[in-house]
Chains A and B, each alone.
Chain A
Amino acid sequence: MNDMPETPLLRVRDLIIEFATENGVVRAADKISFYVHENETIRLVGESGCGKTVTGLSILGLIPSPPGRIAGGSMKFMGRELVGLKDREMREIRGRDISMIFQEPMTALNPVFTIGNQMADVLMRHRGLTQRQARTAAIEMLAKVSIPVPGKRIDEYPHQLSGGMRQRVMIAMALSCDPKLLVADEPTTALDVTTQAQVLEQISKLQAEFRMSVVLITHDLGVVAETCRRAIVMYCGRIVENAAIDDLFTSPRHPYTKGLLDSIPRIRRHRLAELPIIPGRVPDLLHLPCGCRFAERCSRADALCAEQAPALVPAEKTSNLFACHHPVPEMPVERLS
C-alpha cells in the first residue's frame, strides 16, 4: 500500500527537532523519517512527550523559534524543501497548500471575531476573494462540514457554538483553500465520545471529497483504528513502528506497540483481574538512555538493546517497519479482504 512508485506528497527524512531548556538541550524528534502520499491518511500515534505534535508543527514551520529549532534533516513537500524556508515563503504555503487544525477549538478560534470574519480572512488572503465572495464561500464550507443553518451561524461568535461545532468550523477554515495536506493535531481529544465520532466521520468524508492527504496526530489508538490506513508509532522522539493499520493491530512487532495495544482499557467480554500494563514510565527527555529508549521497560530487552539503538527494518510478510532487536514474533493473519 505504501510502495507506490510516484513521488510522495510529503517526504520527511531524518528530521531532528531540538529545544533549548534551562536544563539543557532536548531532542524532541530524533531522525524521524516517513512519507505521505497523495490522497492518503496516516496517523502519528504516541503518548505525551513522544514528539508527534512537534513533528506535526514542524511541517508547517510552527515550532516556536526560540527555544525550538529544526536541527537537521529534510522535509520535501511536492518536491520543495520546507526546512530553511523563510517565514514569508512559509506563510504562503500555510493555509493554502498545507493546513492545520488543533486540539482546543476554543483557544484556536479568536473569541472576539465572528466565525464569518475569521473564515473570510483566510479566504481573502489566500484566494484573493472580495468580502462578499468570501462570505459566500465560507457559507458553502460550513454547509460542507454539516453545520446546520450556516447562513445564520456564520455571524456567531465561537463561544456561542458547542465544542463539536467549533471543531468543525476549524476544519472548514482549514479546508477553505483546498489544501493538499491537512495536519490534524489531536482534533478529537477535547471532545465528547459521541461528538468525536461525528468529527472523525467528517474528516474522512472530506478527505475523500477533496482528495487530500491527512496527517492525524493522536494518542488514542482507538481513534486510529477507525479512520486510517497506515499508522506510525512514536516513542521518546523516535519512530518505533510504521505499519498498515490491519498489520499494526493483528501483528504488532515492536514491544511498545504491543504493550500499548494490550494496555488500552477496552470493553471486554470478561472482566480481567488486572489490566495488562507497561511497567515503569516514559524516561525524562533530558536523561535519555543510550541504545533503545524503550529497553528499560521492555521484558524482551538485553545488553544489546541497552547499547545499540535499533534501526527501522521491514518485516518479512507484513507491511510493518519496526525498530527492535528482539521484536514480537510476526503473526500474519489470513485477511478477509
Chain B
Amino acid sequence: MSAVTIQGMRRESLWSKAFYKFRRDRTGMVSLAFVVLYMLIALGVTLGWWASNWSDVTGGKWEAASAVHWFGTNLIGQDIFARAIYSTKTAFEVGLVVAIIATGVGAVLGAISGFFSGTWIDEILLWVMGVLDSIPFYLFVGAIVFAMQDNPYAMHVAMISTFWTSVSRLVRGEVIKLRGLEYVEAAHAIGVPEYTIIFRHILPNTMHILLVQATIAFVAAIKTEVILSFLGLGVKDGMSWGLMIAESTQEVLAGFFNNFLAASVLLFGLVMAFNMFADALQDALDPRKVS
C-alpha cells in the first residue's frame, strides 16, 4: 500500500473559491459597495441617527432644493430628503423579511417535494404550488390585506405566500437531480434517516440556487411594495418610496417633481445595484465559469 501525500495543496472551501472569484469582478464589487451603502443608511435610520424627522413639518409648501432641505419639501412642508432616506429602512425591512422567509419556506418545501417526488407528498405540494400560482397576484394580495385589516405585516405575508413557489420549484428540480447521486445512496446505505439526508446532504448543495433566489426575491419584494403602496395596499404606518410616488402623482400635475424624483432615483439605484450584485454572485458561484 502506498502512502499518499498531499503536496502543498492550498486549503480551499467552496465558499472561499467563490469569494476570490467575486472579488475580481469589478462590476460586482462596485454594486456590492452601493448595496452596502444603502444598508448603512437603513441601519442609521433604524438606530435613529438620521431622518427621524421625516414626518415633521419643517418648511413651507413645495420649497425648492436648498441647503436646509436638500430635496426641498412636499405639499405639507415635510423634508423630502428625510422621507426618502427613511424609506430606505422600509425597503430593506420588507426586502429582507420577504427574501429570507420566502426562500426558507421555498427551500424546505421544495426539498421535501423533490425528495419524495412520485409520491403523494410531492403531488400535494405541487398542487398547492399550482393553486397559489394561478391566483392573480394583486387580487390575492388585496384579499390578504383586507383580511388582515390594519396589520402592518399584511403585505409581507401576502408576498411571502406567493414568492415561495418559484424558489420551491427550482429547489425541487435540483433535488430530484441530486437525489440520484451516489453520495445520497451512500447515506442510505449507512442508514442515515431520510430527513437527515435531505437537510444535511442535499439541501446544502442547493445553496447556490438559494442565494441567487434570495437576491431575486429581495428585489421583487421592494418593487412589489412600491406598487402595493401606490395602490394603498402597502405600507400603512411609516414612509416608503411607493407612498412618496403615490403622493407625488398630484404634485407632478402641478409641476413639482422633487418628490417623484427623489423616490424614483433612490429606488432605481438600489434595484439596479442589487441586480448587478446578484448577477456577479451567480457568476462567482458557478463552478464552470473561469474568470
Q: What does the 1/0 interface line of B1-38 toward A look like (CB < 8 Å)? A: 01011011100000001001100000000000000000
Q: Is B254 part of the binding interface, using a Cβ–Cβ cutoff of 8 Å?
A: no
- Residues on A with C-beta less than 8 A from B66 are none
Q: Is A21 part of the binding interface, using a Cβ–Cβ cutoff of 8 Å?
A: yes
Q: Is A20 part of the binding interface, using a Cβ–Cβ cutoff of 8 Å?
A: yes
Q: Judge whether B290 and A20 touch: CB under 8 Å.
A: yes
Nearest-neighbor residue (CB-CB) of B9 within chain A: A284
Interface residues of A in 270-308 (CB under 8 A from B): 277, 279-281, 283-284, 287
Q: Is A89 part of the binding interface, using a Cβ–Cβ cutoff of 8 Å?
A: no
Q: Is A222 part of the binding interface, using a Cβ–Cβ cutoff of 8 Å?
A: no
Q: Judge whether A277 and B2 touch: CB under 8 Å.
A: yes
Q: Judge whether A279 and B291 touch: CB under 8 Å.
A: no
Q: What CA separation (Å) do A181 and B107 show in the bound complex?
A: 53
Q: Is A87 part of the binding interface, using a Cβ–Cβ cutoff of 8 Å?
A: no
Interface residues of B in 275-291 (CB under 8 A from A): 290-291
- Residues on A with C-beta less than 8 A from B7 are 283-284, 287
Q: Is A6 part of the binding interface, using a Cβ–Cβ cutoff of 8 Å?
A: no
- Residues on A with C-beta less than 8 A from B9 are 284
CB distance from B287 to the nearest CB of A (A): 11
Q: Judge whether A280 and B21 touch: CB under 8 Å.
A: no
Q: What does the 1/0 interface line of A20-43 toward B look like (CB < 8 Å)? A: 111000000000000000000000
- Residues on B with C-beta less than 8 A from A66 are 290
State which of A20, A279, A287 has its C-beta within 8 Å of the C-beta of B2. Answer: A279
CB distance from B280 to the nearest CB of A (A): 15
Q: What interface size band does chain B fall in?
A: 10 to 19
Interface residues of A in 24-80 (CB under 8 A from B): 66-67
- In the complex, which of the residues A21, A22, A283 has the most CB atoms of chain B within 10 Å of its own CB atom? A22
Q: Judge whether B290 and A67 touch: CB under 8 Å.
A: yes
Q: What CA separation (Å) do A140 and B21 show in the bound complex?
A: 52
- Residues on B with C-beta less than 8 A from A22 are 17, 20-21, 290-291
State which of B4, B8, B20 has its C-beta within 8 Å of the C-beta of A281. Answer: B4
Instruction: Check A21/B290 contact, CB under 8 A, given A284-B7, A287-B8.
Output: yes
CB distance from B18 to the nearest CB of A (A): 11
- Residues on A with C-beta less than 8 A from B4 are 280-281
Q: What CA separation (Å) do A21 and B5 show in the bound complex?
A: 24
Interface residues of A in 131-173 (CB under 8 A from B): none
Nearest-neighbor residue (CB-CB) of A23 within chain B: B10
Q: What CA separation (Å) do A279 and B2 show in the bound complex?
A: 6
Interface residues of A in 62-117 (CB under 8 A from B): 66-67
State which of B2, B8, B20, B290 has its C-beta within 8 Å of the C-beta of A280. Answer: B2
- In the complex, which of the residues B4, B21, B290, B291 has the most CB atoms of chain A within 10 Å of its own CB atom? B290
Nearest-neighbor residue (CB-CB) of B20 within chain A: A22
- Residues on A with C-beta less than 8 A from B290 are 20-22, 66-67
Nearest-neighbor residue (CB-CB) of A67 within chain B: B290
Q: What CA separation (Å) do A67 and B291 show in the bound complex?
A: 8
Q: What CA separation (Å) do A287 and B5 show in the bound complex?
A: 14
CB distance from B58 to the nearest CB of A (A): 53
Q: What CA separation (Å) do A66 and B21 show in the bound complex?
A: 16
Interface residues of B in 58-97 (CB under 8 A from A): none
Interface residues of B in 190-225 (CB under 8 A from A): none
Q: What CA separation (Å) do A134 and B126 show in the bound complex?
A: 48
- Residues on A with C-beta less than 8 A from B2 are 277, 279-280
Q: What CA separation (Å) do A284 and B12 show in the bound complex?
A: 15
Nearest-neighbor residue (CB-CB) of B290 within chain A: A67
Q: What CA separation (Å) do A23 and B112 show in the bound complex?
A: 38
- Residues on B with C-beta less than 8 A from A283 are 7
Nearest-neighbor residue (CB-CB) of B12 within chain A: A23
Nearest-neighbor residue (CB-CB) of A277 within chain B: B2
- Residues on B with C-beta less than 8 A from A67 are 290
Q: What CA separation (Å) do A277 and B4 show in the bound complex?
A: 13
Nearest-neighbor residue (CB-CB) of A284 within chain B: B7
CB distance from B240 to the nearest CB of A (A): 41
CB distance from B233 to the nearest CB of A (A): 46
Q: What CA separation (Å) do A67 and B7 show in the bound complex?
A: 26
- Residues on A with C-beta less than 8 A from B8 are 287
CB distance from B7 to the nearest CB of A (A): 7
- Residues on A with C-beta less than 8 A from B5 are 280
Q: What CA separation (Å) do A279 and B5 show in the bound complex?
A: 11
CB distance from B236 to the nearest CB of A (A): 49
Q: What CA separation (Å) do A66 and B20 show in the bound complex?
A: 19
Q: What CA separation (Å) do A21 and B9 show in the bound complex?
A: 16
CB distance from A196 to the nearest CB of B (A): 25
Q: What CA separation (Å) do A22 and B20 show in the bound complex?
A: 9
CB distance from A229 to the nearest CB of B (A): 35
CB distance from B256 to the nearest CB of A (A): 52
Q: What CA separation (Å) do A277 and B9 show in the bound complex?
A: 24
Q: What CA separation (Å) do A284 and B4 show in the bound complex?
A: 14
CB distance from A180 to the nearest CB of B (A): 34
4 A-B pairs with least C-beta separation: A279-B2, A67-B290, A22-B290, A21-B290
What are 20 A-to-B residue pairs whose CB atoms are below 8 Å? Answer: A20-B290, A21-B290, A22-B17, A22-B20, A22-B21, A22-B290, A22-B291, A66-B290, A67-B290, A277-B2, A279-B2, A280-B2, A280-B4, A280-B5, A281-B4, A283-B7, A284-B7, A284-B9, A287-B7, A287-B8
Given A22-B21, A277-B2, A283-B7, 17 more A-B residue pairs with CB atoms under 8 Å apart are A20-B290, A21-B290, A22-B17, A22-B20, A22-B290, A22-B291, A66-B290, A67-B290, A279-B2, A280-B2, A280-B4, A280-B5, A281-B4, A284-B7, A284-B9, A287-B7, A287-B8
